[in-house]
Amino acid sequence: MSQALSQLNAVTLALTRKYIDKRVIFVRSSHTFADTTERDDYFTANPLELFTGVYIIVGGDVFRFLGGDHTDDGNWLEMTSVIQGPKGDKGDQGDNTTAADVTYNNAVSGLTADDVQDAIDEHTTNTTTAHGAVSAATASKIIIRDSNGRAKIADPSASDDIASKGYVDGLPLHGFRNKIINGNFDIWQRGTSDAASSTSRYLADRWRNFGVTSTIAMSRQAFTVGQTDVPNEPAYFWRGVVASTAGEGNVITFNQRIESVRTFAGKNVTLTFWAKADAPKNMSIEFMQIFGSGGSPSASVNTIGVLKVALTTSWQKFTHTVAIPSIAGKTLGTTHDGYVQMTFYLDAGSDYNTRTDSLGHQSGTFDIAQVQLEEGEVATPFEQRPIGLEESLCLRYCWVITPAAGITIPVWFGVAHSASALRTVLPLAVQMRVSPTLTITGSLASVQGDGGTKTVGYTSTTLYQNFLYVVFTGTDLVTGEIYAIRLLNNTFEFDAEI
């Protein structure tokens, strides 16, 4: 069989496949016909050698020996020139009136149609060497996939060349692929740890927890310098320590709201993140669409892309592709146009079974790092934006002014318009998403002017998207005097979160 296979080249394969439904006949030695009468007598006596569309396989090539009715002399003139094969010489072209001695390669003598079919089957199932195909990036060779279903190509040079994964990964990728802000957990304006609580709150910028009865304590944790478990040398990761309380509606989540429900609408997105736990346990993922506030917005859509993943005590990378529904036919709020929420469920009662794939109640420590959410079905390397840019993205939603302990610093300047009142305008760091709410920790500030240092209190504030108007009250202020305003170990927190 290997001998027959070695004689089948690409032409043989193509033609034999095309005509495999016809009988294949092999002339076993040679025939000399003195004239057409002798020729016709021979085929009359040997009818099995006479078929319309006969093909003879000789030395690796296929030649038509007889096409049409054998009494049609015109066809005979076309078909009597054949090549004997690797061990023979080219035969002479004959005609239908003179003797033609055509010799065929003895190597194929005795082959039957079944032999040919076996050779074809062996050839077509050969996954490693068909026609010299290789899986390596080799010039002028047919590409074949290796045992892992992969094949290699050289780096592209022309604009329409295909590119390998390694080549693409090495290119600078376009920015702002990641719609998660502070996915690397570098920005913590509100502090780096808090006590266990069921209260919904923010700690790491842009990241919010939601709790009912069960509690969570959140903190920033540092990676060991030079570790290789999580790539890209991240500095920090988020940690949540959950204390679960049984109850159908009890829950602890960790989520981020992505501005505008229009984001990703009707598209596929891919979420990637790294996570581990203090012991093997599960964590669930869910996406939601919220259509805003004001007017009569459509009801929120939940249970999008629900997935439960198994955590271990070692860092693992998880990838999840989700189809975000279209918002066609939905009504958006008149105050704002909502958001898309990506949620990690850490603990959940049975009320959340359909939204968590029946996660259930659990206590323990959960660690999360390098969260990325991007359009498309392919997970690209984690996008590392410049830290200043990431901070600016966070400031659209929150700005915290916190003097260092024991230090009073000038924050802004104001003018006394009377002996008891001082007015000032504080430009905000960036234009915020909406006019923020202001939380002031502490109630006093000092002002320094030519008339000396005075202590004042906050009496009224008016907030806009890009500045704060404040009125301070005190005593013995000099009307028209410009004062430098200092905070006395207190904090201004401007909140424009969704």
- pLDDT tens, N- to C-terminus, the chain (498 residues): 444 444 444 434 444 444 433 434 344 344 555 666 776 777 677 766 554 434 343 333 333 344 444 444 434 433 333 333 444 444 444 444 333 333 333 334 455 667 767 766 766 666 566 667 887 888 877 887 888 888 888 888 776 788 887 777 766 567 799 999 999 999 999 999 999 999 999 999 999 999 999 999 999 999 999 999 999 999 999 999 999 999 999 999 999 999 999 999 999 999 999 999 999 999 999 999 999 999 999 999 999 999 999 999 999 999 999 999 999 999 999 998 899 999 999 999 999 999 999 999 999 999 999 999 999 999 999 999 999 999 999 999 999 988 766 666 677 888 999 999 999 998 999 999 999 999 988 766 777 776 678 888 878 889 999 999 989 888 889 999 988 887 776 788 999 999
Instruction: Find, among 390, 474, 461, 472, the residue nearest to 428 by Cα.
Output: 461
**Looking at domain 201-384, which of 1.10.357.10, 3.40.50.300, 2.60.120.260, 2.60.40.10 is its CATH number?**
2.60.120.260
> What residues contact 411, with CB distance under 8 A and at least 6 apart?
401, 426, 485, 486, 487
Secondary-structure breakdown of the chain: helix, strand, coil percentages, each rounded to the nearest 5? 15, 35, 50
Separation of alpha carbons 436 and 190, rounded Å: 15
Identify the three-state secondary structure at position 450: coil
Neighbours of 115 (CB within 10 A): 17
CA atoms lying within 13 Å on the CB side of residue 327? 24
Identify the three-state secondary structure at position 331: coil
Give DSSP secondary structure letters for 359-385.
-----EEEEEEEEEEEESSSPPPPP--
Strand (E) or helix (H) holding 49:
none
Separation of alpha carbons 105 and 466, rounded Å: 92
> What residues contact 159, with CB distance under 8 A and at least 6 apart?
none
Distance of CA 187 to the CA centre of its chain: 25
Question: Do 475 and 435 meet the contact criterion of CB atoms below 8 Å apart?
Answer: no
Tokens 């077509």 locate to 124
Token readout for 465 is 């998207």
Distance of CA 428 to the CA centre of its chain: 36
The predicted model scores a pTM of 0.69
Token readout for 287 is 């996406």
Separation of alpha carbons 83 and 60, rounded Å: 10
Token readout for 323 is 């189809």
Cα-Cα-Cα-Cα torsion 217, 218, 220, 226, nearest 10 degrees, comes to 80
- The widest CA-to-CA distance across the chain, in whole angstroms, is 138
Find residue 340's DSSP bridge partners. Answer: 258, 289
Per domain, the residue ranges of the chain are 2-124, 201-384, 398-495
Separation of alpha carbons 444 and 442, rounded Å: 6
Backbone angles phi, psi at 481, to 5 degrees: -75, 140
Give DSSP secondary structure letters for 118-131.
HHHHHHHT--S-GG
Tokens 């066609």 locate to 328
